Amino acid sequence: MDVVQGGPSAGDDAAAGQAGDAGGTAAAPRSRAAWHTLAGAPARAVGRQIARLPLAVRVIGGVALWAVAYHYWLPVATWLAQDVLRLGDGRLGAALEFFIYDTVKVLLLLTIVVFGIGVVRSYFSPERTRALLRGRREATGNVMAASLGIVTPFCSCSAVPLFIGFVEAGIPLGVTLSFLIAAPMVNEIALVLLYGLFGWKVAALYLVTGLLIAMVAGWVIGRLKMERHIQEWVLEVRMGETATGESLDWTARVGYAWQAVKDIVGRVWLYVAIGIAVGAAIHGYVPENFMAGIMGEGAWWSVPLAVLFGIPMYSNAAGIIPIVEALLEKGAALGTVLAFMMAVIALSLPETIILKRVLKWPLIATFLGVVGAGIMFVGYLFNLAL
């Protein structure tokens, strides 16, 4: 009887507890939702205040903010790596600092380039753009693109954002590839170094051969008609957005460009991060002495081997110059070292990973093969001439 009498009481307590638990469980999501709403209120308030500003103020302010972030990101990245994270000067520290800096730098470049090209594209439909370019000889387009690449201080991964904008805008594939090759390959820093070490003839030969590689490789790939190996999402953007033209007002053009930023950056940011992570690992852990020992040989196979070793690496001209000087001091042949340098800055593995988001493997393989053959030609030419 005592048990029977105590049973209902315990059951009531249990039921009350369960009800309380249920109530607590049901209340928790409401509390979390309320918290998120409360926490997001300041951001929404700031967003509403920004939206009330004149469009010109928002655009100019955004560009100014981008310029400040891009200009000061290097010291900020160094501060984060050395002072905040205390990574030190070891290989891991060098690799992580490289990753922190280049990831943000390339994404900033990607954002501003896509936005700028989006504004320009709002005046020209893809059909109109292609029609204008078809009005010129394709060889002229390759020369113009390669020349533009020479005067832009981009490494291979930094040139990819503008390349994506060219492809997405409907510019012929061969012309875009001429730019992608020339931008990192022919660099003013490399020209100054070669001029200082070997004189103007060697520097001029490097400039001319790099320009020829970019133009000829772009022309060859254009002749192969490999547009079908561009990723479908790029083709869909090109084909689907034909309503742009002179009828749009400025607000619509800015909105069009900002939507392009969200679409394209949202699709490629992960590939950018993965590619730079690979480059950072190689940057921090590949030994220089290993490379110098191989490229110091005078055998015929030293040039293609140097290209093969250079492709997986990643650096801009400024980053590769110390390695080039070290290799030359250790007795490596000039043509072999130049082939290695060109492969590092024009055919990097991180660049290939990023390009995979835009191009399919057959086109990437063709790009690597054609440019690699041109680089080997330059290496043999310098070894024979000097």
Q: What are the tens digits of pLDDT across the range 330-356?
A: 677 888 888 888 888 778 777 788 788
Asked if residue 30 is part of any domain, the answer here is no
Is residue 136 within 8 A of residue 298, CB to CB? The reply is no
pTM of the model: 0.57
Asked if residue 24 is part of any domain, the answer here is no
Q: How many domains does the structure of the chain reveal?
A: 1
DSSP designation for 229: G
Distance CA 370, CA 346 (A): 12
pLDDT at 326: 65
Asked if residue 5 is part of any domain, the answer here is no
73 by Cβ neighbours in 10 Å (0-12 / 13-18 / 19+) ranks as middle
Asked if residue 386 is part of any domain, the answer here is yes
Distance CA 55, CA 142 (A): 37
Share of the chain above pLDDT 90, in %: 2
- Structure tokens of 73? 């990101």
Residues (pLDDT < 50) of the chain are 1-30, 126, 129, 133-135, 239, 241-244
Asked if residue 111 is part of any domain, the answer here is yes
Residue with tokens 């292609």: 130
Asked if residue 369 is part of any domain, the answer here is yes
Asked if residue 242 is part of any domain, the answer here is no
pLDDT at 25: 45
Q: Which domain holds residue 287?
A: 45-229+251-386
- Structure tokens of 318? 């400024």
Asked if residue 356 is part of any domain, the answer here is yes
116 by Cβ neighbours in 10 Å (0-12 / 13-18 / 19+) ranks as middle
